[in-house]
Structure 1
Amino acid sequence: MKTSVLVVGGGLAGTSAALFLAWRGVDVTLVEKHPGSSPHPRAVGFTARTGELLRAAGIEQDLPESRMSKGFGIRRVRVASLVGERFEETFWSPPAKVSDVEHSPSAGVGVAQDRMEPMLREKARELGADIRMSTRMLEFVQDDDGVTAVVQGDGEPYEIRADYLVAADGHRSPIREALGITRSGRGYMHTSRSVLFRAPLDEYLKDGIGQFVVDGVGFLTTYGDGRWVLMLDDREYDEAELLRQINRAIGRDDLPVEIITTGRWTISASVADRFSQGRVFLAGDAAHTLPPSRGGFGANVGIEDAHNLAWKLAAVLNGESRPSLLDTYDVERRPVALLCHQQIFARNDGHDRDGKKEEGPLYENDAMHFGLLYRSAAVLGAGPELPPAQLPEQWNGQPGTRAPHVWIEPGKSTLDLFQRGWVLVADHPQWEEAAAGLGLRYERVERLDVFGLSEKGASLVRPDGYIAWRSVELPADPAHELKSAFSSTSAGTR
């Protein structure tokens, strides 16, 4: 069979890739070796930036708002037990400065990974993605024109021919290994034994703390839906001992506790030394393993990988852009993963047991979620002198950053203008005429100040909502300037 893009791996990154590709009209097939999601919820609480991406694809309204968006869950305290004495408090992230600036129309998404993935799969299928569970990729080979993979479901192996392959096959990634792509970073740190259980403990969450380092026991946290996970030292436990450890962590043994499942959890941190090779692209844990020490970087960064790659693959496949645009995927996303790695180890939060910190500034959450900078051939005007992240109001519409959010009318944000193609934002008839000459969508926006523009300026926004170029003032020949900027950034060449 033939498909435009073959995605291998049905976790968050792979399923998001299928969703975003199908949403852009790309013929996409996903294969996943497991019949469904892992019984371990793993990630929980997705950022408002992820909420923005799902909002554009028409799925955000189906997902529950995260209590984390109101501060729940991101607070962590050392305790004698859940019901016992509480000691010093630590944080996933640097406490944000008090500000009345609203950065997003979206809130975080409060759902565990094992419930998020089926929602993404359902939406991807609704949009036309061919999702094949219980189907394993056995081997693949690529040539100048595409990738041929051999896969197997319940029957005999068969071939899938694709123009491109997205490897979202996890942190062990057989595809990455087959390509010989090495990794750098902190590497292996430690292994924990985990036990997932259900217990009526919501009364202990009223103060907004959702993570507990229990002295002499381990790390206890909630998924916000009645399920909890306790991380213990890595050794063998029988069910009776697991129950004793759970009761020790809670600090009482008179509550009904249902053990759901157990497992091992390896904590490591690494980033692939390149995110693509030929027609194969790494995404999610295959590209970077980021411990859940701060802000859910692993899951959310993987979803953003998929989003960045999807519009570029769609543009190349439909002939709007040259294949050189795909080179900007590695150039834009790998520095983000490296920055996240640095941020995780910029302080000792308990996962990094050797205590060594990485040098560099510690950025606020909103800077990491909404203010990352891309420097690539798909951006004009993002020089090396700029920091890798800042708050959106500090960027003020800087090319290479996400377009700023401001309400246009009740319920409609500037962000709702983007992600369906290239958009020129301005409020001047000469810019409108220049956009029409190139077949670009023109959006008249009165609040040009948040884009860092004069009343005669313009910003060119990419299909992923990132600013590719801007002209603060009206140049002598707007049509020429816009054509030059668009032809360069849309092709990924300077």
Structure 2
Amino acid sequence: MIEESTGVLVVGGGLVGLSTALFLAWHDVPVTLVERHPGSSPHPRALGYTMRTAELYRSVGVRWPEIPAFRDGFRRVRVTSLAGERLEELPWESGNAPEADYSPADKIGLPQDKLEPLLRARAEELGADIRFGTNLVSFEQDETGVTGLIRDVVDGGERSVRAKYLVAADGHRSPIRESFGITRSGRGYLGTTRSVLFDARLEHLRDGFVQFVIDQPDLQAFLLSYGDDRWVLMLQSEEEPTEPEWRRLITSAIGVSDVDYELITTGRWEMRAAIAESYAHGRVFLAGDAAHTLPPSRGGYGANTGIQDAHNLAWKLAAVLSGQAGEELLDSYDAERRPVAWLCHQQLFARQDQQLVDMGPREAIEIIDDIALCFGYLYRSSAVLGAGPDLPPARRPDEWAGRPGTRAPHVWLDRDNDRVSTIDLSARNWVLLTVGGDWDLEPIPGLALDQVRADEVALAFDLKPGGGVLIRPDGYVAWRSQEAPADPRAAVSDALAELLSR
């Protein structure tokens, strides 16, 4: 049997698995990804990604095309049919401030089947070994690594792959999670949703909207435009409609009978809300749907949360594998990301916008602003110094003002006749961002630390003259000294030693 070795073995080649491989490769981690299917799903599935997700992809060099249909944003409307009466536009429940004030990136409007090849190509360009049509047959772990047996689904050839760590991005049923007996909690099963993807030229009926809530006495459904003549009709049904029934439903949802369309494929998924009780078991980590299944009914919580799982985990694995950090740093993955999934779970059931299924009773909790849910999660873990238990789980960046445990706020900086965002400073390394003072530190052995003086960030980060912050490679503030410390080098060295378990 052929034996191979890698740094991290990723199982699952969907959106989160590919993102994990991409972010690991960006940090120069040897990574092998296996996916049993021969390619990405032909169904476009997810469509919209938040500005925070766009920041992450932007930071590692992913570029995506603009689809003109989404220039007006992702507006939705309740209608009798696509060609019928517009009953009401359906904004999100919480009010929004201008998002451009919070990020240098724009939202991504791109079907998942178009985005995944871009992620794969960029990951491979950075050195990731991506293998579709390859199944993980079995695996076992010991004190120093994980050994996986993989099999080519075409020729049956088997190989043994030795990795330091394994990331399970193998979906909501996750055989890897199940093998450990990791249980899940949450609202659980909510209903079965059926969908049909079809091709039709209906742009003249869209009126700038993307999602249409079809409200008829005999049809309650969602009709979604992918901006490229592909549409999907979704409805709750325990039984699979026949092709004639699908055609009747499509015609009813469109509202006119003289439109030509072509059926492409149908889909089915069980809508669930379930979160794993642990995101790790030894050297194996769960990400994406393997860690949390969140209904795709609002804000793309499932996809965006999973992508941000991958980003959070990747820099930590890279730090440990390179010797910059002790293995204890990896404990912060569960500590930081599992509360985010629970917060999204709570917000889904607190808001309950237009739904295809009965979501049950509302959560009697504060509805958190959309900007805060996009940019303002608070992390509490050993990888943050100064995030107390009394703080709320999420707030807008301007309300946090650079507090440890929160994403560093976006501020435009003028550098060498170019405009750079503070968000772009921490794409790979740690950053020491200061406002004046004597912060000219000597290089710290074994650590990539960029020093940036930017007096214009004082207000956004709540720093006095001489103050500074340490920003992690994922863009989160890990430590802050609002005033100048007596010994800057000692203060930074001590903070990093505690943060990285060195």
Partner of 2:129: 130
Post-superposition shift, 1:461? 0.5
Post-superposition shift, 1:158? 2.0
Q: Distance in 1 between matches of 2:298 and 2:245?
A: 30
Partner of 2:274: 270
- 2:446 aligned with 1:446: no
Post-superposition shift, 1:210? 2.3
Q: Secondary structure at the match of 1:416?
A: helix
Q: Which sits farther off after the overlay, 412-421 or 81-90?
A: 81-90
List alignment gaps of at least 5 residues for structure 1. none
Post-superposition shift, 1:421? 1.1
Q: Distance in 2 between matches of 1:282 and 1:100?
A: 31
Q: Residue 25 of structure 2 contacts residue 127 of structure 2 at CA under 8 Å; is this kept in 1?
A: yes
Q: Distance in 2 between matches of 1:272 and 1:25?
A: 29
Q: Distance in 2 between matches of 1:265 and 1:439?
A: 44
- 2:195 aligned with 1:172: no
Partner of 1:432: 440
Partner of 2:478: 468
Listed one character per residue, the Cα deviations across residues 58-90 of structure 1 (whole Å, up to 9, x for unaligned) are 11x33436866x6532x3333221111232443
Q: Residue 66 of structure 1 contacts residue 108 of structure 1 at CA under 8 Å; is this kept in 2?
A: no
- 2:196 aligned with 1:195: yes
The partner residue of 2:60 within 57, 60, 72 is 57
Instruction: Give the aligned length.
Output: 488
Q: Which sits farther off after the overlay, 278-287 or 215-224?
A: 215-224
- 2:466 aligned with 1:456: yes
Aligned CA RMSD, in angstroms, stands at 1.8
Partner of 2:143: 144
Post-superposition shift, 1:430? 1.8
Q: Residue 435 of structure 1 contacts residue 441 of structure 1 at CA under 8 Å; is this kept in 2?
A: no
Q: Distance in 1 between matches of 2:306 and 2:352?
A: 24
Compute the TM-score of the two structures, normalised by the length of structure 2: 0.93
List alignment gaps of at least 5 residues for structure 2. none
Q: Residue 199 of structure 1 contacts residue 226 of structure 1 at CA under 8 Å; is this kept in 2?
A: yes
Q: Residue 194 of structure 1 contacts residue 263 of structure 1 at CA under 8 Å; is this kept in 2?
A: yes
Q: Secondary structure at the match of 1:145?
A: coil
Partner of 2:293: 289
Partner of 1:81: 81
Q: Distance in 1 between matches of 2:210 and 2:193?
A: 22
Listed one character per residue, the Cα deviations across residues 365-416 of structure 1 (whole Å, up to 9, x for unaligned) are 2111111110000000100111110000000001001111111135421111
Q: Secondary structure at the match of 1:4?
A: strand
Partner of 2:115: 116
Given residue 425 of structure 1, which amino acid in structure 2 is its aligned partner? Answer: L
Partner of 1:46: 49
Q: In the superposition, relative to structure 1, how do residues 382 and 352 fare at CA in structure 2: closer, same or farther (>3 Å)?
A: farther
Given residue 174 of structure 1, which amino acid in structure 2 is its aligned partner? Answer: P
Q: Distance in 2 between matches of 1:236 and 1:378?
A: 48
Q: Secondary structure at the match of 1:196?
A: strand
Post-superposition shift, 1:160? 0.9
Given residue 398 of structure 1, which amino acid in structure 2 is its aligned partner? Answer: R
Q: Secondary structure at the match of 1:6?
A: strand
Q: Which sits farther off after the overlay, 326-335 or 361-370?
A: 361-370
Q: Distance in 2 between matches of 1:65 and 1:247?
A: 26
Post-superposition shift, 1:94? 2.8
Partner of 1:403: 408
Q: Residue 46 of structure 1 contacts residue 66 of structure 1 at CA under 8 Å; is this kept in 2?
A: no
Q: In the superposition, relative to structure 1, how do residues 209 and 157 fare at CA in structure 2: closer, same or farther (>3 Å)?
A: closer
Q: Distance in 1 between matches of 2:424 and 2:67?
A: 19
Q: Residue 94 of structure 1 contacts residue 363 of structure 1 at CA under 8 Å; is this kept in 2?
A: no
Where do 1:342-361 residues align within 5 Å? 342-349=346-353, 350-361=355-366
The partner residue of 1:379 within 384, 394, 409 is 384
Where do 1:474-485 residues align within 5 Å? 474-485=484-495
Q: Secondary structure at the match of 2:170?
A: coil
Percent of pairs identical after alignment?
53
Q: Secondary structure at the match of 1:314?
A: helix
Q: Secondary structure at the match of 1:82?
A: coil
The partner residue of 2:396 within 366, 373, 391 is 391
Q: Distance in 2 between matches of 1:203 and 1:455?
A: 57
Q: Distance in 2 between matches of 1:462 and 1:193?
A: 42
Where do 1:214-225 residues align within 5 Å? 214-215=215-216, 216-217=218-219, 218-225=221-228
Q: Secondary structure at the match of 1:262?
A: strand
Q: In the superposition, relative to structure 1, how do residues 483 and 141 fare at CA in structure 2: closer, same or farther (>3 Å)?
A: same
Given residue 254 of structure 1, which amino acid in structure 2 is its aligned partner? Answer: D
Given residue 102 of structure 1, which amino acid in structure 2 is its aligned partner? Answer: D
Q: Distance in 2 between matches of 1:100 and 1:128?
A: 34
Q: Residue 20 of structure 1 contacts residue 310 of structure 1 at CA under 8 Å; is this kept in 2?
A: yes
Q: Residue 76 of structure 1 contacts residue 209 of structure 1 at CA under 8 Å; is this kept in 2?
A: yes
Q: Residue 383 of structure 2 contacts residue 478 of structure 2 at CA under 8 Å; is this kept in 1?
A: yes
Q: Secondary structure at the match of 2:121?
A: helix
Q: Secondary structure at the match of 2:427?
A: coil
Where do 1:310-329 residues align within 5 Å? 310-329=314-333
Post-superposition shift, 1:363? 1.3
Post-superposition shift, 1:241? 2.1
Q: Residue 403 of structure 1 contacts residue 461 of structure 1 at CA under 8 Å; is this kept in 2?
A: yes
Q: Distance in 2 between matches of 1:151 and 1:100?
A: 44
Q: Distance in 2 between matches of 1:126 and 1:354?
A: 43
Q: Distance in 1 between matches of 2:328 and 2:49?
A: 32
Q: Secondary structure at the match of 1:266?
A: strand
Q: Distance in 2 between matches of 1:298 and 1:95?
A: 19
Q: Which sits farther off after the overlay, 26-35 or 400-409?
A: 400-409
Compute the TM-score of the two structures, normalised by the length of structure 1: 0.95
Q: Which sits farther off after the overlay, 124-133 or 406-415?
A: 406-415
